[in-house]
Structure 1
């Protein structure tokens, strides 16, 4: 198989950016973001305590 071209690399990078931005959720400072942060900390706390 031929090596991936530059366009595919860029495409994957853009996809990754979109994934990361959606994963991070709403902009920081909004009440939803702080709620998500607290929930994330709770989840991380439960996973690390085990």
Structure 2
């Protein structure tokens, strides 16, 4: 796929949301994969 959708729709709320949440979701996924035990302990009472 060619990343040219931002040219056709410059002010698309969906596109901005994807750009904003994309890196956050990637970082969160990396943390979950690297430290599953620590997160599990934090979530347990």
Q: Normalised by the shorter chain, which TM-score bucket?
A: 0.3 to 0.5
**Structure having greater relative contact order (Cα 8 Å, sep ≥ 6):** 2
Greater Rg by CA? 1
Query: What's the TM-score once normalised by structure 2's chain length?
Result: 0.38
Query: What's the TM-score once normalised by structure 1's chain length?
Result: 0.37
